[in-house]
Chains A and B, each alone.
Chain A
Amino acid sequence: MIDFQPSDEQRLIVETVRQFATSEIRPRARECSEARKLPDDVIARAHELGLVAGALPSANGGGGERSAITSALIAEELAWGDLAIALAILSPSLVALPVADFGTPEQQRAWLPRYTADRFVPGSLALVEPSFRFDVFHPATAARPDGDAWILDGEKCFVPWLAGDDSVLVIAAEKRVPQAFLVPRDAEGLEATPERNLGLDALPTVELRLRGVKVPASARLGGARGADVASLVNRGRVALAAAAVGVARAAFELALAYAKQRQAFGAPIATKQAIAFKLAEMAIEIDGARLLAWEAADRLDRGLPALREAALAQQQAQRVALEVADGAVQVFGGHGYIRDYLPEMHLRNARGFACFEALSLV
């Protein structure tokens, strides 16, 4: 009835990704954040692991192993290494998975091979809008028909904009129903402005302005049938919840190690209950949030409605990530505030989970 045991294959994947995050991602996290630049060599090597390609249909050259739980496990491990680099590595999922889920056969043939090829091709999804009133299920960005074509108007933000791709998947509402459109980056009326945010320093993102951007009917994901954007939102929430757990775990482990090493009043500060209990609470909350993310992922894998579970998992994980990251800064004391150490970066990244949607998909 209930099982908390990852399969042997999942354990192998977790082990591989954890190893990669430890040896390749984590050592580059600070330097990339300061330089506001992604480590292209790391991303190229991560691509060789086939983390996104593995989930794509085998008919299109993928591994055919689609599992939201496996993707959540991967997202946690990568985000434990570094959130910005993790989101870059997983960015192909932003286009590849929606195309795999909803694309017409022609769209799948045209769009999927690039994600299973030898060279890394990033993905770009424009969903969030720069507004206090942003409603993910009813975006203000509009798509209206114009003969055989579609005209898109609106504004987007937090759009990953990695070099090496020439398109972006834009979510826009036809009347009230959101749909997805594949738009060339050089389309007329499309204007991209680089962003600087509180966190995610190394990940290039843009604010997109769409003014009368015209795309052909073939650009509409799923053709006449369209796409179930709500399911993409749920999948994005599970991915973000898992990534938030990864960030929280990273911050927690730093705090734990530091507390055992840092001496005060003649003993490690971890021997004080004020610190030890904070660490215990972090550990409990992280495990609880992870289980919520897994539960939501499991529902996705079983084709059950997951709106509620995905929303709760994201809500809990973002709260836990923020509290744990803040706690880690606190445990480090003054050092936590200094950019020589990682906790301040985790705190800035963690806050983002309250604002992000679909920066990665499961």
Chain B
Amino acid sequence: MALEQMRPISRRYDVLEHEPPREWIDFFWRHGRTGAAGSEFDGDSDGMVQICVQAEQLCWGDAALYLRMPTPALGGSAVAAAGTPEQKARFLAGFRGDGPPVWGAMAITEPGAGSDAAAIQTTARLDGDHWVLNGTKIFCTSGESASQVEGGFVVVWATLDKSAGRGGIKSFVVPARTPGMKLVGLEKKLGIRASDTATLVFEECRIPKENLLGRAEVKKQDPKKAGDKGFKGAMATFDASRPIVAAMAVGVGSASLEFLIEELARQGVAIRYDAPRCDRSAIERDVTEMEAELQSARLLTWRAAWMMNKGRPNSLEASMAKAKAGLSVTRITQKAVELLGPPGYSQKLLVEKWMRDAKINDIYEGTQQINQLIVARRILDYSSSMLR
């Protein structure tokens, strides 16, 4: 699939940017959902290692087209992590049926709140049987498709009480085409251009009361101990999504590194693992370093996914994998451009595209720094107030 369906159109949709890759969407909807890939894309945590292996392989094909696939994506992970069985059935139904392609998305980031999710300004208030949302969300991956195509949904983070900090933050499922949810723009980006990154504005956007994920109570003291699936549930989404993002990064990195090694071999430069140190070229040294880094990131990713399969807490390992994969793949893809020389910089090859695509993995789903912060707090056994 990656080789035959994605690679041939990789450059085209990078250049077309906001043009939906129709043939890919249709192909995935018809063939990609079935078979081994089947149930895995509904955000269920079963087969997490398999999800990661697939994410890696598909992102080896094209990371932007992977993000463009009609799946519940992060919205699905949020529903799976914090939703009731009824909610899971209701929101994920469209992804299993015979209808046209549908998308899910998650809207967290705001103009004034990125890594600091507790600073969210979007509000939710109860009005009779409905929640009413007001605010602006940016950087919403697949936000265009998820908000505009009937059957899809956007999971929106909003606060019930700004004075309660993170304790007041809940996630809400907004079905596509709900009045009051407006698509106001699409970002032009460094990479992953075939993936739509939307700005969504919510103006008196009304959704049924049953679309809240978790409970409505606001616990001001310690939301962690409240047993609430609201903020905690929303954060738990990351335990599932970070290994996937790490796997995506590894996919882009392996595309770049494999191409580099093949191209070097074609030019008569073999990578030797049995050569004495003094005979190894700088390129050989660079490449083996890149290989070790990539494999290290891959194994950390599989470990985090494997722990999730086993039902073990994996926040630490998920952040470790994400931090390692995001950074090492950013470096690997940049190094590949360098080592390939002028052709590496040219748009005749995909290597420059992979460098642009790779960088996002060190930013979204928690920047490098946020994941380091999470790891640091965990290994030091410090709370978020002790290590800020």
Contact = CB atoms under 8 A, between A and B. Distances in A.
Contacts of B307: 4
Contact of B295 (A4, A132, A281, A292): A292
B320 A133 contact: no
Contact of A312 (B288, B303, B375, B382): B288
Contacts of B277: 134
Nearest to A294: B299
Interface residues of B, number: 38
A283 B323 CA distance: 11
B292 A295 contact: no
Interface in A266-289: 270-271, 273, 276-277, 279-281, 283-285, 287-289
Given A283-B320, A284-B323, A312-B288, A295 B295 contact: yes
Interface string A243-275: 000000000000010011000000000110100
Contact of A2 (B49, B289, B291, B295): B49
B289 A315 contact: yes
B386 interface: yes
A311 B279 CA distance: 15
B36 interface: no
Contacts of A271: 382, 386-387
B300 A288 contact: yes
B165 to A, nearest CB: 20
B320 A284 contact: yes
B373 interface: yes
Nearest to B320: A284
Given A280-B376, A280-B379, A288-B296, A4 B278 contact: no
B297 interface: yes
B306 interface: yes
Contacts of A59: none
A291 B300 contact: yes
A260 B380 contact: yes
A129 B190 CA distance: 50
A259 B275 CA distance: 41
A4 B288 contact: no
Interface in B252-308: 273-279, 288-289, 291-293, 295-297, 299-300, 302-303, 306-307
B387 A276 contact: yes
Given A133-B276, A136-B276, A271-B386, A295 B289 contact: no
Nearest to A133: B278
B292 A308 contact: no
B115 interface: no
Interface string A116-139: 000000000000000011111110
A154 to B, nearest CB: 16
A271 B289 CA distance: 32
B51 to A, nearest CB: 13
Which one of A277, A280, A311 has the greatest number of beta carbons of chain B within 10 Å? A280
Contact of B379 (A132, A283, A289, A291): A283
Interface string B356-388: 000000000000010011011101101000110
A91 interface: no
Contact of A289 (B273, B296, B323): B296
B278, B320, B380 pick with most chain A CB within 10 angstroms: B380
Contacts of B33: none
Contacts of B273: 307-308, 311-312
A311 B292 CA distance: 9
A279 B274 CA distance: 33
Contacts of B377: 276
A289 B375 CA distance: 17
B375 to A, nearest CB: 4
A42 to B, nearest CB: 30
Given A133-B276, A292-B296, A280 B323 contact: yes
B382 A2 contact: no
B206 interface: no
Tell me whether chain B's interface is mostly helix, strand or loop, or mixed. helix
A303 B324 CA distance: 30
A1 interface: yes
Nearest to B293: A316
A3 interface: yes
B303 A3 contact: no
Contacts of B299: 288, 291-292, 295
B362 to A, nearest CB: 14
Contacts of A280: 323, 372-373, 375-376, 379
Contacts of B386: 271
Contacts of A295: 295, 299
Nearest to B307: A4
Contacts of A316: 292-293, 296
Given A280-B379, A292-B295, A315-B288, A1 B49 contact: yes
Contacts of B293: 316
Contacts of A285: 296, 324
Given A271-B386, A307-B274, A312-B292, A4 B303 contact: yes
Contact of A135 (B276, B288, B317, B379): B276
Contacts of B306: 2-4
A121 to B, nearest CB: 32
Contacts of A281: 372
B324 to A, nearest CB: 5
Nearest to B317: A287
Interface string A134-149: 1111100000000000
A273 B372 CA distance: 9
A281 B376 CA distance: 8
Given A3-B306, A276-B387, A311 B375 contact: no
A310 B380 CA distance: 32
Given A291-B299, A312-B288, A315-B292, A284 B278 contact: no
A312 B291 contact: yes
Contacts of B275: 135
A133 B37 CA distance: 51
Contacts of B297: 288
B380 A288 contact: no
Nearest to A134: B276
Contacts of A133: 276, 278
A2 B48 CA distance: 11
11 contacts: A138-B276, A273-B373, A276-B373, A279-B379, A280-B372, A280-B373, A288-B296, A292-B299, A307-B273, A313-B292, A316-B293
Those 8 A-B pairs whose CB atoms lie nearest each other, nearest first = A288-B296, A291-B299, A135-B276, A276-B376, A280-B375, A316-B292, A280-B376, A311-B273
Given A132-B278, A135-B276, A276-B376, 10 more contacts: A134-B277, A135-B279, A283-B320, A284-B323, A285-B324, A288-B324, A295-B295, A308-B273, A313-B292, A316-B296
